[in-house]
Amino acid sequence: MRNETEMTDMERTPLVEVRHLKKYFQINVGAFKTAALKAVDDVSFSIMKGETLGLVGESGCGKTTVGRTLLQLYKPTGGEIIYDGKKIESKSSLKEFRTKATIVFQDPYSSLNPRMTVMDIIAEPLDVHKLCKSKEERRERVLQLMDYVGLNSEHASRYAHEFSGGQRQRIGIARALAVNPEFIVCDEPVSALDVSIQAQVINMFDELQDKLGLTYLFIAHDLLVVRHISDRIAVMYLGKMVELAEAAEIYDRPLHPYTKSLISAVPLPDPEKARANKRIILNGDIPSPLKAPSGCPFRTRCHYATEACAESMPEFREVSKGHFAACHRLEEINS
């Protein structure tokens, strides 16, 4: 995470811009019938150079789909993806984009090929993009990447199943770094790891960002992890963006009722503060994306919902400098 004073004017310019991104999946719901599952529905945000944007929300809210659609692992249903001022639309722009943007997957157990050695796993992007002129150059690059993530050179000839979860995730991170990217989508990279290992991996992400000048979209459901690593935090609910602000602002002054509920569930280390903290319990369960409520998707679980909330989706607007939220009753709730 970069301090505001450390970020130059160049770093404050957007590296990644997502405008009105949509990703719908056609799901079979009966004989010869399909329905659109709106996994991501009209989501917009930008990520500055050298910044980490945290993306949080409940399981099934569309966080992972945002990351994969941004990288065009899923073809977008609608919207624009702009990288470093250039719109990603042609095959040539996509090919160039994929040498500058990579992903670290959630599960270190299923994302690595068990039949490949660590050397070949990490070198696969180098081979695909033909980035090494000789076997010796390839080997030296892989050993350099292994050193970046804290793996020993003797690990290169071993197989993924011989390593712990934390070590496997380090292999996945080294593979993501192989093409010398500028931007990495981190798709819940520590959720499958033991708590004792999570801190080590998070700190490594921080160190790599400072060392290599990386920009992250950090997807997670653990708000404590996101707060530690993120400069800004975006909150999603049922395919929609509901709030976006600086990390400290989100924690100290959440505006949206859903964000308030998420923050109230974060455990506090201070016993007195923990006792004083009032947990905001939501009504019911998250609705199915196949049958999303009309208007505001959060209204079926919101204590403040009115008839107006059922009639139209609230605009995702800037409430104060850099603080965006989507709620019809923001002023009343936060007065």
DSSP 326: -
pLDDT band at 126 (very low <50, low <70, confident <90, very high): very high
Closest CA to 289 of 33, 28, 35, 1: 35
**Residue matched to tokens 């990279």:** 189
Q: Domain coordinates of the chain in residue numbers? A: 4-100+181-257
Q: What is d(CA 335, CA 323) in angstroms, rounded to the nearest whole number?
A: 16
pLDDT at residue 1 greater than cutoff 70: no
pLDDT digits (tens, 9 = 90+) for 181-206: 999 999 999 888 888 889 999 999 99
Which residues are paired to 265 by β-bridges? Answer: none
4-100+181-257 maps to CATH 3.40.50.300: yes
pLDDT digits (tens, 9 = 90+) for 252-279: 999 999 999 999 888 777 677 667 777 8
| Residue 307: C-alpha distances to residues 92, 181, 255, 304, 315 (Å) | 48, 48, 20, 10, 16
Q: What is d(CA 272, CA 269) in angstroms, rounded to the nearest whole number?
A: 9
Which residues are paired to 52 by β-bridges? Answer: 216
Q: What is d(CA 108, CA 162) in angstroms, rounded to the nearest whole number?
A: 12
Pairing of strands 240-246, 232-237: antiparallel
* pLDDT (average), residues 139-157: 94
Helix then strand count (H, E) for the chain reads 12, 12
Amino acid at 291: K
* pLDDT (average), residues 130-142: 94
> Could you give the strand order of the β-sheet that contains 33-48, starting from the edge strand earlier in sequence?
33-48, 14-30, 78-83, 86-87
